């Protein structure tokens, strides 16, 4: 049977990237998606904005919603200080299996805890099961209609503290209208839009960075 897109992406990494070199894994995926087969990674243009936010926040605790093939996971993990706690959630076991191999190829498996399951089920367990108090940074990149409910759930579970940063991909394309409306009008957040483009295309997209005010 025909391979899946995540499998073909993994093979491109194993063929073109150097083991233990995160930058080469990132480049191999970007080359593959730009020249061979598009895939829904945050990509290199928005990826640079992600890098700058991660470097600025210098987080001790990070949560990523929607690992997919692990592209943004590798981008984030390579910039984290030693001892940082990085949890990424992926509910498709087949995709999680690919992401683990991409992360391993980059040599970053010790910095990343990939947990298989749905964010709605796992967020309420963060404190008891994963020993997390609050997250300094959350990267939202899963189903777009889940950004808002999961943000409210993180608030309810006390996982955000004053200064916590939410960074949301795809707020224009495919778009997350209910999330944007909430986060931009809530007195509990200060938001900033970073205009960019949909990965590997000229279509407008962007990242919304929101600071939780407590
Ligand atoms: C049920 C919600 N909770 C979840 N918990 C854990 N993992 C989840 C969850 N949802 C989805 N996932 C996983 O995250 C990934 C899904 C990401 C969804 N992303 C998109 O739809 C997306 C889509 C596009 C896009 C843009 C333009 C197009 F024409 C076509 C596609 C671009 C992007 O950058 C995207 O992020 C999958 O691996 C899925 O298994
Ligand atoms: Mg995305």
* pLDDT tens sequence across 26-57: 999 999 999 999 999 999 999 999 999 999 99
- Assembly ipTM: 0.99
Average confidence (pLDDT) over 140-163: 98
Residues with CB under 6 A from ligand 1: 40, 66, 68, 89-92, 95, 118-120, 141-143, 146, 169-170, 173-174, 198-199
For residue 1, the CA-to-ligand 2 centroid distance in Å is 28
- Under DSSP, the state recorded for 125 is G
For residue 45, the CA-to-ligand 2 centroid distance in Å is 12
Judge whether residue 73 has pLDDT over 90: yes
Q: Extract the runs of DSSP E, i.e. beta strands, from 66-184.
A: 85-90, 113-116, 137-140, 165-168
**pLDDT-derived band of residue 164, with 50, 70 and 90 as boundaries?**
very high
Look over the chain and give the mean of its residue pLDDT values, rounded to a whole number: 98
Judge whether residue 132 has pLDDT over 90: yes
Give percent helix, percent strand, percent coil of the chain, each to the nearest 5.
50, 20, 35
pLDDT at 202: 98
Q: Is the CB of residue 20 less than 8 Å from the CB of residue 107?
A: yes
Smallest CA separation from ligand 1 atom 32, residue: 40
pLDDT at 1: 80
Tell me the catalytic residues. 141, 144, 169-170, 199
């Amino acid at each position: 049977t025909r391979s899946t897109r995540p499998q073909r992406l993994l093979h491109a990494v194993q063929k073109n990237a150097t083991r233990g070199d995160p930058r080469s894994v990132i480049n191999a995926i970007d080359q593959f998606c730009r020249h061979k087969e598009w895939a829904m990674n945050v990509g290199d243009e928005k990826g640079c904005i992600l890098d700058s936010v991660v470097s600025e926040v210098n987080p001790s605790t990070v949560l990523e919603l929607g690992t997919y093939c692990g592209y943004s996971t590798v981008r984030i993990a390579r910039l984290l200080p030693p001892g940082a706690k990085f949890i990424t959630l992926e509910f498709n076991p087949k995709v999680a299996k690919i992401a683990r191999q991409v992360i391993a190829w980059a040599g970053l498996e010790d910095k990343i805890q990939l947990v298989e399951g749905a964010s709605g089920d796992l967020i309420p367990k963060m404190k008891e099961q994963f020993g997390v108090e609050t997250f300094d940074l959350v990267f939202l990149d899963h189903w777009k209609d889940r950004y808002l409910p999961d943000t409210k759930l993180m608030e309810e579970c006390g996982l955000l503290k004053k200064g916590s940063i939410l960074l949301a991909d795809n707020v224009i394309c495919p778009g997350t209208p209910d999330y944007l409306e909430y986060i931009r009008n809530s007195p509990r957040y200060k938001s900033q839009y970073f205009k960019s483009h949909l990965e590997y295309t000229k279509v407008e997209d962007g990242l919304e960075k929101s600071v939780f005010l407590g």
